[in-house]
Structure 1
Amino acid sequence: MKTSRYATSRQKACQHCSVAKAKCDRKATGCSRCAKRKIPCVYPQTRSSKEKSPSQGGPSPQSPDSIPDSLVPSFCGLPPDSHSEAWTEPWAQPVGQREHIRTASSNTLTSNPISFKKTELDFSNLELFCPINTDEITTRWMNPYIPVPGQTIKQYPSGVSSFISRILKSYTAVAARGRGTLPFVHPSQISEQPASSPLTTCLSLIKICETPLPGSEGTAAMVLQREMGNIMECHESYNELSLLGAFQAYLIYCLALFFKLHQGPQNQLRSAMMNLQTLAHLSSKQGLMCVADQDRTRPKWEEWIVTETKRRTLYVMYLFDSVLSTQEALPTFLATELLGLPSSASKLLWHARSRSEWEREYNIHLAEWTDKSLTIDELWPVPPDMDAPDIARRSRRVDHWLEEIDEFGTMLYAVTSCTHGG
């Protein structure tokens, strides 16, 4: 059957220049306009009219061991460091699949409805503190093997375990598809991260997991694991915001390995979880709460963004750890090391589009929560020594929190309520 003359795009400029109707110099490593703006430079997939299909005697399909460079998005300004090595890994797809990947790669998470101006946010000189012992985070993987006095086993009903698994799987799909935003990645992070940052690299590289071909999962896993190795090699040089992004990126890679590429705990995933908990420990140690929280005053927006995002990422990591433990028939323990940390914030605060909007909502939050914000342990089992008035007060606080939360908070409540009651 003859192919339509319009079946393949004749667009010559890169995606961003085409949308802006600007002149594109079409450099092989990325056009000058995209390089100046430090944004991904993606060219549309074109196919020569003289190209022959295998049935017509043309070149045979590439083997799974070879990957054309055209499949990898070109990142302008990407330094020739360890991060850039991940983009040279081999990855093979048929032409139709190749065109699909190129189309998807242009739909990055930067196109979400909440936009931020870089000049509006300043993530330097943040006043944060950590109220918990983060050493217990980095050694959590040992809990099933080395019992510690005072540990409380958490028995997830089978339905709750399935619910957690499905929710985390959906997060992986959102990242791989490149549409929408993850509930533990704040929209401002996308605009603030440079093109070569771990998080930006992750949100582009993870798209190879959207529809992997049968039998190609191992190659895709190798690509992700190489970038995970780069993160662990470079994490000591990251500043606070980059370390948070590295923590999030490593978590997203782990989720993709498990849910998309079916790499179980026996396939080095447990080792990856140890590294993930190390990153969680280092990032958390730099601060999980704002200093202003101690005085019940309003912090800087940037301080709130960093601490809220860290805690959300931390909670997702703990849920994923429970999924792995359940699959291996290992016990899951109550995360008592997180005692006192705030639970997820309100939807209006998380989705605030500007500083003025966020400050207005936070002032309302302070007026309504005169004591302190709801903490994560208030969603756990009621302590046996808590009297009736305190139980009633705790119930009212949870009800108040439920009035304000977004879908992430709803998920947390569903898990804790169905597990512990209340």
Structure 2
Amino acid sequence: MAPSRSRYSTTRVKACQHCITAKAKCDRKETCGRCALRSLTCSYPGRFREPIVDSQHSGNSENWENSNTSDTLDFEQSLLQTDAPADLHFAPLDLVCPINSDDIKNRWLNSYVPLPGQSPKNYSQSVINFVYRMLKSYASTVIRGRLPPFIHPMQQSLVPLSTCFTLVRICDPLPGNVSIAADILQREMTRLYEERGTYESIHLLGVFQAYLIYSMVLFFHLGPSMPFLRQAMINLQEIACATSREGLVCAAEQRGALPKWESWIMAEAKRRTLYTMYFLDNVLSAHDGLTTYLGTELRGLYSPSSKYLWQADRNGWEQSYNSHLAEWGSEPFRLDELWPFPDGISEEEIKRQRRRVDRWLEDVDEFGTMLYAASSCTHGG
């Protein structure tokens, strides 16, 4: 019996997804005028653009891909907020980069040519196993059509992410021929890397997040020993560098003032994505028998925000952020406050630092909890 067709396959689509949600008139062009005006990705229910398949794979690969993506036509892109409120404006963004982003791009060299003063991360096997399982769960979350904790629901970098979320569904269930699935993802990764210079701002962050997700799916679900992965990590760190260079912190955050919501979303999502990449780099290095080092180049960046800020809508976020300012002012909790205490620190300063850790832990979500658990089990404190 022939497989059932999508519920949209016999229905004439009269409007794109954005216009349907907004109950607005749609001119039904490939990119409708309303979406073009708002810089939105215009998509029509039931339409799916297949990724290009090389001629050498045009047989089994294309047939297999079509059969395994037929169920993704009605993919819940609402999870990515393709219908984000029209009052969201991701430009201009008042972001700054308080660190040397080039150190992120060059991080892969540290395992081969350690820099003076670098501190090895003496991860125990149990910590490596813990981080491995957590990152694998993030990859599985995306494969099953849900958001991982480093992608904010209001992000609008739709093209890289919606394509990514659709493609990785070919791993649910895991295909018998994983090499074909891996080839499809690798070619999309290559395309993103080659075109990275054409993206900026929110869309460049989407490229970073999509490339990270593809890397995790390849490692955790399709083959951890692929030679492609080490080069992919080098490429990923270069994309991370470009994304970070455009800003990792809101200028208002540094002043202890209320930032624009969209600016904060960008900064927080960038930091979470960056920290996830560092964890993946640690797991890959451990898998390859390489030494991992403390990411001192990230010193001064803020730790993951509270779940109340991350999960809030605009009104709830402003209220929560005002409470956050009353608590933390211009000294938000920093990532390096989870690292080993510096030499010569006083007992009083240690107590103060532990009180800040305790206060931060009261409000963190599962991402912050994971980061704390890995840091605490490695560094103590």
With the length of structure 2 as denominator, give the TM-score of the two structures.
0.86
SS of equivalent residue, structure 2 residue 142: helix
Task: Supply the AA of the counterpart residue of 1:41.
Answer: P
2: CA distance, partners of 1:10 / 1:237: 34
Quote the residue 2:329 is aligned against: 370
Quote the residue 2:115 is aligned against: 148
- Work out whether 1:41 is the aligned partner of 2:45: yes
Counterparts of residues 244-255 of structure 1 (less than 5 Å): 244-255=205-216
Task: Tell me whether 8-17 or 360-369 shows the greater mean CA deviation.
Answer: 8-17
Counterparts of residues 16-55 of structure 1 (less than 5 Å): 32=28, 36=32, 38-39=42-43, 41-42=45-46
Shift in Å at residue 382 of structure 1?
1.4
2: CA distance, partners of 1:243 / 1:375: 25
SS of equivalent residue, structure 1 residue 133: coil
Quote the residue 1:25 is aligned against: none
Shift in Å at residue 203 of structure 1?
1.3
Quote the residue 2:71 is aligned against: 103
1: CA distance, partners of 2:100 / 2:201: 18
Query: Cα distance 1:34–1:171, how it changes in 2: closer, same or farther (>3 A)?
Result: farther
2: CA distance, partners of 1:358 / 1:343: 17
Shift in Å at residue 308 of structure 1?
0.4
Q: Kindly name which structure, 1 or 2, has the bigger radius of gyration based on alpha carbons.
A: 1
Are the equivalent residues in 1 in contact too, given 2:211–2:236 (CA < 8 A)? yes
Residue among 119, 129, 152 paired with 1:186: 152
Counterparts of residues 183-262 of structure 1 (less than 5 Å): 183-189=149-155, 192-194=156-158, 197-214=159-176, 216-262=177-223
Shift in Å at residue 35 of structure 1?
6.3
Quote the residue 1:317 is aligned against: 277
Shift in Å at residue 11 of structure 1?
4.4
Query: Cα distance 1:274–1:413, how it changes in 2: closer, same or farther (>3 A)?
Result: same
1: CA distance, partners of 2:266 / 2:183: 31
Task: Supply the AA of the counterpart residue of 2:223.
Answer: H
2: CA distance, partners of 1:243 / 1:11: 33
- Work out whether 1:282 is the aligned partner of 2:235: no
Deviations 1:15-61 (A, max 9, x none): 8969x9xxxxxxxxxx9599647225327xxxxxxxxxxxxxxxxxx
Quote the residue 2:137 is aligned against: 170
Quote the residue 2:348 is aligned against: 389
2: CA distance, partners of 1:409 / 1:186: 14
Deviations 1:321-378 (A, max 9, x none): 000110111101000000010000010110112x222111101100011351110011
Shift in Å at residue 108 of structure 1?
2.7
1: CA distance, partners of 2:280 / 2:75: 27
Larger RCO (CA within 8 A; separation ≥ 6): 2
SS of equivalent residue, structure 1 residue 188: coil
Shift in Å at residue 115 of structure 1?
8.5
- Work out whether 1:411 is the aligned partner of 2:370: yes
Query: Cα distance 1:393–1:86, how it changes in 2: closer, same or farther (>3 A)?
Result: farther
Query: Cα distance 1:279–1:286, how it changes in 2: closer, same or farther (>3 A)?
Result: same
Query: Cα distance 1:86–1:241, how it changes in 2: closer, same or farther (>3 A)?
Result: farther
Task: Supply the AA of the counterpart residue of 1:153.
Answer: P
Deviations 1:63-110 (A, max 9, x none): xxxxxxxxxx348xxxxxxxx536997536779x93x74335523342
SS of equivalent residue, structure 2 residue 195: helix
2: CA distance, partners of 1:382 / 1:111: 40
Shift in Å at residue 193 of structure 1?
3.2
The RMSD of aligned alpha carbons is 2.9
Are the equivalent residues in 2 in contact too, given 1:130–1:288 (CA < 8 A)? yes
Query: Cα distance 1:125–1:323, how it changes in 2: closer, same or farther (>3 A)?
Result: same
How many residues are treated as equivalent by the alignment?
A: 361
Quote the residue 1:332 is aligned against: 292
2: CA distance, partners of 1:239 / 1:393: 40
Unaligned runs of 5+ in 2: 17-26, 36-41
Residue among 338, 341, 344 paired with 2:301: 341
Task: Supply the AA of the counterpart residue of 1:378.
Answer: E
Quote the residue 2:21 is aligned against: none
Give the share of equivalent positions with the same residue, in percent.
42
Query: Cα distance 1:240–1:15, how it changes in 2: closer, same or farther (>3 A)?
Result: farther
With the length of structure 1 as denominator, give the TM-score of the two structures.
0.78
